[in-house]
Structure 1
């Protein structure tokens, strides 16, 4: 195969910074690469010592809904446990179930306030 132009001659004098335009181009390319591929400094720092963590960008309604479901589960576990034990342990398990139910009611009320545009109006109606 015949090439229309010969290979360029290899010179040790050739530099990417040959002219002022190529220097500006190289600087602009470096800035662009640094901008797009540099490690981000706004990443959250990892917390030490936390086994469980809640994501900071979850909205309040989702947090309360999950808390309500967890309290329902705790109450069901306590009632199940109360069926298997007698005496003071039964009373303790039933007390835990009632406590979880009471806190769940508080969480449900908080969810109602989130749906209402003005919680004070909601209180006046109840």
Structure 2
């Protein structure tokens, strides 16, 4: 008995479709390479441009180290007190987070105090 519908061919992809697919893969690879080169190795005009920091808040360039360290120590002490006061109003994980921040501030304050002692020993 003869079939009315013939069997489908074994190879459904045509050579033209495979060529198109390989071209698409090549274009993707080229695009990926261009993107990586752009972000990981920026063009020279961008890399050569010097960075200019904002001058909105500027520490006077002629300030001595001792004054700068004393100001940093006072700022850290104030931040530590603020964090401690804020932690008293919190409970649970938020309180633990603020206390951890306060501990980091205290450690920075200790380091600044040590640097201040090295600049101007009291003994």
Please tell me the TM-score bracket, short chain as reference. Answer: 0.5 to 0.7
Tell me, in whole angstroms, the C-alpha distance in 2 between the residues paired with 1:59 and 1:48. Answer: 21
Match of 2:102 in 1: 97
**CA distances 1:32-68 after superposition (whole Å, capped 9, x unpaired):** xxxxxxxxxxxxxxx7733211000110000000000
Indicate yes or no: 2:56 matched with 1:51. Answer: yes
Q: TM-score of the superposition, structure 2-length normalised?
A: 0.54
> Counterpart in 2 of 1:42?
none
Report how many residues are paired: 71
TM-score, normalization: structure 1? 0.52
**Counterpart selection for 1:79 from 79, 84, 91:** 84
Report runs of 4+ in structure 1 exceeding 6 Å deviation: none
Q: Is 1:110 matched with 2:115? A: yes
- Structure 1's unaligned 5+ residue stretches are 1-46, 117-121
Aligned equivalent of 2:5: none
